[in-house]
Amino acid sequence: MAGPRVEVDGSIMEGGGQILRVSTALSCLLGLPLRVQKIRAGRSTPGLRPQHLSGLEIIRDLCDGQLERAEIGSTEITFTPEKIKGGIHTADTKTAGSVCLLMQVSMPCVLFAASSSELHLKGGTNAEMAPQIDYTVMVFKPIVEKFGFKFNCDIKTRGYYPKGGGEVIVRVSPVKQLNPINLTDRGYVTKIYGRAFVAGVLPFKVAKDMAAAAVRCIRKEIRDLYVNIQPVQEPKDQAFGNGNGIIIIAETSTGCLFAGSSLGKRGVNADKVGIEAAEMLLANLRHGGTVDEYLQDQLIVFMALANGVSRIKTGPVTLHTQTAIHFAEQIAKAKFIVKKSEDEEDASKDTYIIECQGIGMTNPNL
């Protein structure tokens, strides 16, 4: 398999873990040896952190590849992929590092494995600076399955900052090819629902207060819809450590899903957490796109691999999305066009169409 190594500069654009996730996933899928240099060069703690390392290790394990110089703090790695195989694989960040980011890096790869996979992912399920597991299950999953595959995500234990200790089991069957998607018709909002949770020693009142504050905030802008946010006390045997947070989903008539979410921190009052999530949701509903700002970049790799032209309508294109596009073009040779939406109703808004001619990746094992 050894050809010339693909050289990636880990310090450009988003300059963080995302470059590593996108480039190693594509390297694994396409059988291209990879070198990533200047990893997280501009960050306060440069180089690999525990969660990045466990992401690299699961990709290595998925394909029996060779991974060199991968240790905490390392700013350069080389990776030589082999054939992607199914089976049971475990990745453990040993911290509150996000299981959702582990899923982000491994999901595209296991779709093109030789047989079904079961991924045991351990770390934080509801962590800062990453999607919460509820977002992954409630928003990412139903939308990404439009590419023509199904996966199952079983939340065994929830884990919070700073201890982590959560575990999620993801089961995926391989596919022959991915279908392109066309998400350009937003429809109108038909329902708003969510969950506000407390875990560990935090009082249930905190969950109720987050939910109530979020509902009040949404009502100011959207008066005619019932907003159903359930306060939840996470069962003791299914949560490790203490945490609180909220996720609110808006669903539209055409099946689009948008979210706002927030996590509690020590000393931040519950109302503020609820309002932050509500305001994030409302901001995502104002721009006229069909996906929220967090789903945008997560769809890019799948669009690049799909067999045909995919289109999604978004609000302002995030730096994460621009970064994913850059590396999908560099490594997979997919072609992207990003342009302002020309629909009349989007004229006054910051709305864009991201179009991709996918490479039509075919699973060699099926």
> Quick one: pLDDT at residue 272?
98
CA torsion sign, 35 to 357 to 119 to 258? positive
The catalytic residues are 320
| pLDDT tens digits along 163-193 | 999 999 999 999 999 999 999 999 999 999 9
Q: For residues 296 and 289, what is the distance between their CA atoms, to the nearest angstrom? A: 10
> Quick one: pLDDT at residue 2?
56
Give pTM, 2 decimals: 0.97
Burial class for 220, CB neighbours closer than 10 Å (0-12, 13-18, 19+): exposed
* 62 SS3 class: helix
Q: What is the CA radius of gyration of the chain?
A: 20
Whether the pLDDT of residue 1 is over 60: the answer is: no
Mean pLDDT of 210-225: 97
Q: For residues 6 and 23, what is the distance between their CA atoms, to the nearest angstrom? A: 9
Whether the pLDDT of residue 126 is over 70: the answer is: yes
Domains in the chain, CATH or no CATH each: 6-183+291-359 (3.65.10.20), 189-286 (3.30.360.20)
Q: For residues 160 and 341, what is the distance between their CA atoms, to the nearest angstrom? A: 39
CA torsion sign, 147 to 132 to 323 to 35? negative
* Residue carrying structure tokens 């947070």: 245
Q: Which of 3-12, 20-29, 132-141, 319-328 has the lowest mean pLDDT?
A: 3-12
Token reading at 317 = 């294109």
Mean pLDDT of 272-293: 96
> Quick one: pLDDT at residue 341?
94
> Quick one: pLDDT at residue 4?
85
By C-alpha distance, which of 25, 22, 293 is closest to 135? 293
Whether the pLDDT of residue 284 is over 90: the answer is: yes
Annotated binding-site residues for ATP read: 104, 294-298
Annotated binding-site residues read: 104, 294-298
Residue 344's pLDDT band (boundaries 50, 70, 90)?
confident
* Residue carrying structure tokens 């991968």: 70
By C-alpha distance, which of 104, 102, 4 is closest to 57? 102
Inter-residue contact 119 to 250 (CB < 8 Å): no
The residues near 169 (Cβ < 8 Å, ≥ 6 apart) are 118, 119, 120, 121, 153, 154, 156
Mean pLDDT, the chain, rounded, equals 96
Residue 348's pLDDT band (boundaries 50, 70, 90)?
confident
Mean pLDDT of 328-347: 94
Q: Which of 202-206, 226-230, 342-346 has the lowest mean pLDDT?
A: 342-346
Whether the pLDDT of residue 202 is over 70: the answer is: yes
Mean pLDDT of 208-214: 98
